[in-house]
Structure 1
Amino acid sequence: MTKYYEPLHTLGQLQREVNRLFDTSPVRHADEADLATSDWVPAVDIKEDTDRFIIYADLPGVEGKDIEITLDNSILTLKGHRESSKSEERQGYKRVERVSGTFLRRFTLPSSVDAAKVSARSQSGVLELVIPKNQQSQTRKITVEG
């Protein structure tokens, strides 16, 4: 079986490497391990507020019951499965519109998070994770007198 050159895959891999080099976010992720153990990696947005982190993961076609979220030793893991999508075959060519199979995404959270209060909600193909920070670890501005 001949393996074909896939320029979009190579371009995506290059983009992930460049993004990893410039990532200054306090919430780190393990892209290399995720890619090796999953069929696809969902895109995420990470937002930091003064009192919490919010992670939005694009999971179109994945129901909440098919998503497993674990938090162990500051490692947040999202994994699940999306069923096969519609494919089309004509004259020996096959076209698959969306990636299916298992997905995995891991994040290393800072010690300032309150693991007991993490919540998750899935709506319209977007998973929202709210990760509160501990009250005592929040930044406090100190006024200098004199």
Structure 2
Amino acid sequence: MALIRWQPFQEIETLRRQMDQVFEELAGNNQQPETFWKPAVELKDTEDSLILRAEIPGVEGKDLDVQVTREAVAIRGEYRREQQAQERGLFRSEFRYGKFQRVVGLPVAIQNDQVQAEFKNGILTLTLPKVTEARRKVVKVNIADASTAAPEIANEPDTNSHVDKAEPAAV
């Protein structure tokens, strides 16, 4: 029978690598060239419109495809990897490359034919005007005072009630 020497540090290192791989997969950081990811967005509701801002650094405006419907906004594009010559050593990159896509549902209907777009410093800003029915309308509500109510209405017996009032049972 052969004796095998136990190496606890090697087993701990193997366990650490496996846990790192699990967390990387959960976080979506497995960097494959065709992996889809979603740019961060911010949606602000104003009186007349919605303001959608998307963080897309490193991409030119001509490489973006933005489509707007009355209910949603779709932003698509691709980060292209620059060709770099590796002369010596290992090459490491934590940048995200590949295609990206984000579809944002809107809380109210918008006029998609009047959308304005601006792309500056890696931030795409879309001004989405609301349809007139979706704009906030302030309406004054008149509240009747209880003392102005007619006394005969307040003193009428409730004839629509079908609940029988039973006497409590004796124990």
**Category of TM-score, reference length = shorter chain:** 0.5 to 0.7
- Equivalence for 1:118: 115
Given that residues 51 and 125 in structure 2 are in contact (C-alpha distance below 8 angstroms), is that contact kept between their aligned partners in structure 1? yes
Q: Deviations over 1:61-94 (max 9, x none)?
A: 1000000011246332100111116889775x54
Structure 1 gaps, min length 5: 14-36
Larger Rg: 2
Given that residues 71 and 109 in structure 2 are in contact (C-alpha distance below 8 angstroms), is that contact kept between their aligned partners in structure 1? no
Which of 34, 40, 43 is residue 43 of structure 1 equivalent to?
Answer: 40
Q: How many Å apart are 1:136 and its aligned residue?
A: 2.8
More strand by share: 1
Which of 110, 135, 138 is residue 135 of structure 2 equivalent to?
Answer: 138
Where 2:113 maps in the other structure, the secondary structure is helix
Q: How many Å apart are 1:6 and its aligned residue?
A: 5.4
Query: What does 1:73-84 correspond to in 2, within 5 Å?
Result: 74-84=71-81
Percent identity, please.
Answer: 28
Q: What do you get for the CA RMSD once the two structures are aligned?
A: 3.0
Q: Following the alignment from structure 1 to structure 2, what is the Cα–Cα distance between the partners of residues 61 and 144?
A: 52
Q: How many Å apart are 1:110 and its aligned residue?
A: 4.1
Corresponding letter in the other structure for 1:40: W
User: Residues 68 and 112 of structure 1: is their aligned pair in 2 closer, same or farther, counting only changes over 3 Å?
Assistant: same
TM-score, structure 1 length as denominator? 0.67
User: Residues 99 and 88 of structure 1: is their aligned pair in 2 closer, same or farther, counting only changes over 3 Å?
Assistant: farther
Where 1:96 maps in the other structure, the secondary structure is coil
Q: Deviations over 1:98-120 (max 9, x none)?
A: 10111100022345211111121
User: Residues 111 and 55 of structure 1: is their aligned pair in 2 closer, same or farther, counting only changes over 3 Å?
Assistant: closer
- Equivalence for 2:159: none
Structure 2 gaps, min length 5: 1-17, 144-171
Which 10-residue stretch deviates more, 64-73 or 78-87?
Answer: 78-87
TM-score, structure 2 length as denominator? 0.58
Aligned length: 120
Q: How many Å apart are 1:44 and its aligned residue?
A: 0.9
